Structure 1
Amino acid sequence: MITLIWLGVLLVTLTLHLRKVYSRFKDYGVNHFTPIPVLGNAGPITVRLRHVAEDFDMVYKAFPEDRFTGRFDLLRPTVIIKDLDLIKQITIKDFEHFLDHRALVDDTADPFFGRNLFSLRGQEWKDMRSTLSPAFTSSKMRGMVPFMVEVNNQMIDMIKKKIVANADGYLDCEGKDLTTRYANDVIASCAFGVKVDSHTNEENQFYLMGRDMADFGFRKIMVFLGYSSFPKLMKKFNAKLLSDETGHFFTDLVLRTMEDREVKEIVRPDMIHLLMEAKQGKLSYDEKSTKEADTGFATVEESDVGKKTINRIWSNTDLIAQATLFFVAGFETISSAMSFALHELALNPEIQDRLVQEIKENYAKTGGKFDFNCIQDLTYMDMFVSEVLRLWTPVVGMDRLCVKDYNLGRANKNATKDFILRKGEGLSIPTWSIHHNPEYYPEPYKFDPERFSEENKRNIKPFTYLPFGTGPRNCIGSRFALCEVKVMLYQLLQQIEVLPSDKTKVRAKLAKDTFNVKIEGGHWIRLKLRD
């Protein structure tokens, strides 16, 4: 009887608590779908019924007149921002109210994810951004392009050998696997100074560790949602995103490489060298570049936060955490963009032909020379890549954590009270949904690089194109990503024709088993030697 009484008390307490949690939006007229107890609105994601982009898109479209809507990630209320003026206020004008991201993990349990630039908060984030931003200017990217070219040649040689060895004269391959291995080898070279050939040595340790780190499958989704709603419990169980084996691998790699370079006085213009300079306080922001003369339309500009000079000493753990972040971003998000680029080339031969023509003209103009300057001169290439990043944006949304109470105003015309976002509550900006809004992009699911022609791109509304985020907390690596994608396409299309294979998904759907953006059933393409 006593046990039953206590169970009853526990059930009543839980019910009252859930009722309080799930009533957060009710009195303010903030529209949202009815949450399921404990799971909130995250049920379809956790049981893999929908991709997170599709899940957020349902909320975005369900209430078309609203400035913002609500949802519950398990027990955590989150505001979904739709109004463009509000996005501008949050990310730029009132940025100090939304300085931080929500925690992915606890920084003591998992320092390599918890101490990287994405996860750092407050003044520590500002200091790290100021420390690292000089490493991502155009002048620094210029020095890394030759490493990308070298890795790309390695991949193309492998492709050509396999095509020649096949009596049918072509190679059917899974594009995501191809570009992930290429991205792995680029980041190994450009970030760590390690030469790897993941196309020949398919199970090399560097690739296996990277795959473990970058794969945001079910376990990592649950860790992320767990820290979002039950941070103390997750910390108690020492839950982490990165396995101990992978953590030890990158710790040893970074420290050993830095020590070896100091002893042998090796200078190589890669991320390890830049991190060593950052640790010694030798990096400074010395570039005044404009968007028009940069790596493309999608490039984001550094804010005043990143251009400040600081004299802070960072620990080895902090430096390893930044190297880890470079790897995750370089391994997954860039390879995602490249795999969708190949997918669209296979389905749009007329676009591929125009791109090849521009590459031929540039090749003739430069006498076969290819460097950073060539990337700036490829107008149609930039239109093509910009449209890939719109239609298939690798990061489907931006999140922010409110660090000071903030008045968002009224959610819609029927709301009777302003909604005050409280300190510690989060919001999301649904990039995927904005990129697919027909009000901003007519026929949003049609692949059309002409949206980004010199004439048309001027008509794109501010804050409707966000592949690398916006405001001071935008993606620090936009130049690196754009360089890598364009180098791959330039060299590949000179020699290889991209065609649909028997397995190509003409009507592509997002795979539901991961936060990452990839095609259900694979990114299958056919490669042939170009005449």
Structure 2
Amino acid sequence: MLFLIWSAVLIVALILYLKKTYSVFSKYGVKNMTPIPLVGNGLSVFIGREHIVDYSMRIYQQYPEERFFGSYEFLRPLVIVKDIELIKQITIKDFEYFLDHKTMVDDRIDPLFGRNLFSLKGEEWKDMRATLSPAFTSSKMKLMLPFIVEVGNRMTDELKKQIKESDEKYLDIEAKDLTTRYANDVIASCAFGLKVDSIAEENNEFFRMGKVITNFGISTIIKMFMFIYLPFLTKMLNIKVFSEAAANFFKNLFMNTMNHRKANNIVRPDMIHLLMQAKKGKLVHEEKPSKEADAGFATVDESEVGTNNVNKDWSDLDLIAQALLFFFAGFETVSTAMTFALYQMAVTPEIQEKLIKEIKENEIKNGGKFDYNSIQNMAYMDMVISEVLRLWPPAIALDRICTKDYNLGRANDKAPKDYIMRKGDCLQIANWAIHRDPKYFPNPTKFDPERFSEENKHNIQPFSYMPFGLGPRNCIGSRFALCEVKVMLYQILQHFEVEACERTCIPPEFIPGQFNLNLKGGNWLRLKIRQ
């Protein structure tokens, strides 16, 4: 009898607790989806019924008149922001209230992940951003371009060889695999000073270890949720993001390369050299970062945070953590942008023809060569890549943590009072859905580079286009990423015709239950040597 009484008391207490927890939004008149007790929202994604982008589009469209609406991650409230003016307020004007990203990993448990630029918080993030910012200016990108071109040359030579050896005289490729290998080799060269050919040598160690640390399978997703929601358990069990073998591989590679260069006075204008300069306090801005200098619509400007002078000693582990972040970002997000650039060339051949015309004109103009300035000044190339990043942004949502209580205002005209975010609360900016909102981009599912033409780009509402994020916490590597994607597309189209094949996923459908942008059946395309 006593057991039954206590059981009833505990059940009632749990019900009352859940009722209070899940009524955070209702008392402010903020509309929100009905949560499943203890689970919250988004179960359809985790059980494999829906892809994360389909889920994000569905809930975004469910609340057409709201400035923001609510969701729940298990027991935690999550504000999803739609209103463009509010996005501007959060990311620019009141940035100090939303300085940090969501805590993923405690840097005391896993410093290789917890000490990177994305994970750092507060003043320490500001210092690291200012330290690294000079490494990503146009002048540094110009020095790295030959390394990117060299990787592209190896790729096109190997693809031509495979086509010539085939009976069909064409090659069907899984584009995500190709672009991941290309991005891997670019990072190997530009960040670690290694010459790797992952297309010819499919199972080389650098690529294998890269696959290990960027594998977002179910086990990694479970670990990430444990880091966020059960940090005490991850600490107790000493769980880390990267396997010991992968972590040691990159640690040793970085330290051996750095020590070898010091001992032999070797200077190679790549990321390791820049990180070594940063450690010595010798990495400074040689130019004022400017959007005009890069001639790229998607390029993000560096804020005052990144242009500050910082004199701080960073540990070797801090530097390794940054190198791994460059690898992680280059391996996954850049390869995703490249994959969909190739996909759009295959399914919109008229755009491919227009772009190859510009490429040929550039070849004639520059005697068959191209450099950083010439490729960045290709207007139609920039229009194409800008539209790729609108329709297929690699980051599905932008997150921010409220660092001190903040008044978001009213969610809608009928809301009884302003919604106050508390310190530690999380919000998301629904950039994938905003990029596909007809209010900002007419006929949004159509791939139309003309949106970004000189005549039309002024029609794009500020803060509605955010492939590299917004505000001081935007992507530090936007120049590098854009340069890499443009060079890759240039070299592929220079040598090959890109076509759809029997296995091409038309219309594009994502695999349910995944967070990566993987198409059902793979992203298969056909390459033919261009005559």
TM-score range, shorter chain: over 0.9
After superposition, give the CA deviation of every residue in 1:362-400 in whole Å (9 maximum; x if it has no partner). 000011121101112211000000000000110011000
Q: Is the CA contact 2:138–2:293 (under 8 Å) kept in the aligned structure 1?
A: no
Q: Specify the SS of the correspondent of 2:520.
A: coil
Q: Is the CA contact 1:218–1:513 (under 8 Å) kept in the aligned structure 2?
A: no
Q: Is the CA contact 1:344–1:447 (under 8 Å) kept in the aligned structure 2?
A: yes
After superposition, give the CA deviation of every residue in 1:31-54 in whole Å (9 maximum; x if it has no partner). 111001111003112212222222
Q: Is the CA contact 1:398–1:469 (under 8 Å) kept in the aligned structure 2?
A: yes
Partner of 2:316: 316
Q: Is the CA contact 1:498–1:525 (under 8 Å) kept in the aligned structure 2?
A: yes
Partner of 1:181: 181
Q: Say whether 1:166 aligns with 2:166.
A: yes
| 1:112-127 superposed matches below 5 A | 112-127=112-127
Residues 1:83 and 1:479: Cα distance change in structure 2 (over 3 Å): same
Residues 1:513 and 1:269: Cα distance change in structure 2 (over 3 Å): farther
Partner of 1:22: 22
TM-score scaled to structure 2, two decimals? 0.98
Q: Is the CA contact 1:386–1:452 (under 8 Å) kept in the aligned structure 2?
A: yes
After superposition, give the CA deviation of every residue in 1:220-263 in whole Å (9 maximum; x if it has no partner). 22333333333333433333322222111111111111111111
Aligned AA for 2:530? R
Q: Distance in 2 between matches of 1:330 and 1:365?
A: 31
Partner of 1:244: 244
Q: Say whether 1:406 aligns with 2:406.
A: yes
Q: Distance in 2 between matches of 1:264 and 1:224?
A: 41
Q: Is the CA contact 2:112–2:318 (under 8 Å) kept in the aligned structure 1?
A: yes
Aligned AA for 2:129? R
Partner of 2:133: 133
Q: Specify the SS of the correspondent of 1:472.
A: helix
Partner of 1:371: 371
Q: Specify the SS of the correspondent of 2:77.
A: strand
Partner of 2:90: 90
Partner of 1:393: 393
Which deviates the most, 100-109 or 86-95?
A: 100-109
Q: Specify the SS of the correspondent of 2:471.
A: coil
Q: Say whether 1:468 aligns with 2:468.
A: yes
| 1:153-232 superposed matches below 5 A | 153-232=153-232
Q: Distance in 1 between matches of 2:81 and 2:212?
A: 32
After superposition, give the CA deviation of every residue in 1:31-83 in whole Å (9 maximum; x if it has no partner). 11100111100311221222222222222111111000011111211100111
Aligned AA for 1:250? F
Q: Specify the SS of the correspondent of 2:80.
A: strand
Partner of 1:261: 261
Aligned AA for 2:431? T
Count residues in correspondence.
531
Q: Distance in 2 between matches of 1:232 and 1:456?
A: 52
Aligned AA for 1:401? I
Q: Distance in 1 between matches of 2:234 and 2:9?
A: 25
TM-score scaled to structure 1, two decimals? 0.98
Which deviates the most, 367-376 or 173-182?
A: 367-376
Residues 1:322 and 1:4: Cα distance change in structure 2 (over 3 Å): farther
Q: Is the CA contact 2:397–2:428 (under 8 Å) kept in the aligned structure 1?
A: yes
Q: Is the CA contact 2:113–2:321 (under 8 Å) kept in the aligned structure 1?
A: yes
How big is the alpha-carbon RMSD for the aligned residues of Structure 1 and Structure 2?
1.3
Please state how far the C-alpha of 1:219 moved relative to its aligned partner.
2.3
Partner of 2:144: 144
Aligned AA for 1:381? M
Partner of 1:332: 332
Q: Distance in 2 between matches of 1:14 and 1:161?
A: 66
Aligned AA for 2:502? D
Aligned AA for 1:525? L
Please state how far the C-alpha of 1:217 moved relative to its aligned partner.
2.5
Q: Is the CA contact 1:295–1:483 (under 8 Å) kept in the aligned structure 2?
A: no
Q: Distance in 2 between matches of 1:6 and 1:192?
A: 61
Q: Is the CA contact 1:136–1:479 (under 8 Å) kept in the aligned structure 2?
A: yes
Q: Say whether 1:282 aligns with 2:282.
A: yes
Q: Distance in 2 between matches of 1:44 and 1:220?
A: 18
Provide the identity percentage. 58
Please state how far the C-alpha of 1:8 moved relative to its aligned partner.
4.2
Residues 1:513 and 1:258: Cα distance change in structure 2 (over 3 Å): farther
Q: Distance in 1 between matches of 2:79 and 2:239?
A: 26
Q: Specify the SS of the correspondent of 2:447.
A: coil
Q: Specify the SS of the correspondent of 2:512.
A: coil
Partner of 1:59: 59
Q: Is the CA contact 2:289–2:302 (under 8 Å) kept in the aligned structure 1?
A: no
Q: Is the CA contact 1:59–1:69 (under 8 Å) kept in the aligned structure 2?
A: no
After superposition, give the CA deviation of every residue in 1:248-306 in whole Å (9 maximum; x if it has no partner). 11111111111111111111111111110000000112212432330511000100000
Q: Distance in 2 between matches of 1:185 and 1:9?
A: 61
Q: Specify the SS of the correspondent of 2:380.
A: helix
Please state how far the C-alpha of 1:183 moved relative to its aligned partner.
0.3
Q: Distance in 1 between matches of 2:232 and 2:413?
A: 38
Please state how far the C-alpha of 1:128 moved relative to its aligned partner.
0.3
Q: Is the CA contact 1:74–1:225 (under 8 Å) kept in the aligned structure 2?
A: no
Q: Distance in 1 between matches of 2:346 and 2:515?
A: 25
Please state how far the C-alpha of 1:3 moved relative to its aligned partner.
5.1
Partner of 2:524: 524
Q: Specify the SS of the correspondent of 1:469.
A: coil
Q: Specify the SS of the correspondent of 1:284.
A: coil
Q: Is the CA contact 1:76–1:229 (under 8 Å) kept in the aligned structure 2?
A: no
Aligned AA for 2:149? V
Aligned AA for 1:255? M
Which deviates the most, 41-50 or 6-15?
A: 6-15
Which deviates the most, 122-131 or 23-32?
A: 23-32
Residues 1:8 and 1:106: Cα distance change in structure 2 (over 3 Å): farther
After superposition, give the CA deviation of every residue in 1:81-113 in whole Å (9 maximum; x if it has no partner). 111110000000000000000011221222111
Partner of 1:438: 438
After superposition, give the CA deviation of every residue in 1:1-32 in whole Å (9 maximum; x if it has no partner). 55555544443333332222211111011111
Partner of 1:341: 341
Q: Distance in 1 between matches of 2:515 and 2:236?
A: 25
Which deviates the most, 171-180 or 369-378?
A: 369-378
Residues 1:279 and 1:90: Cα distance change in structure 2 (over 3 Å): same
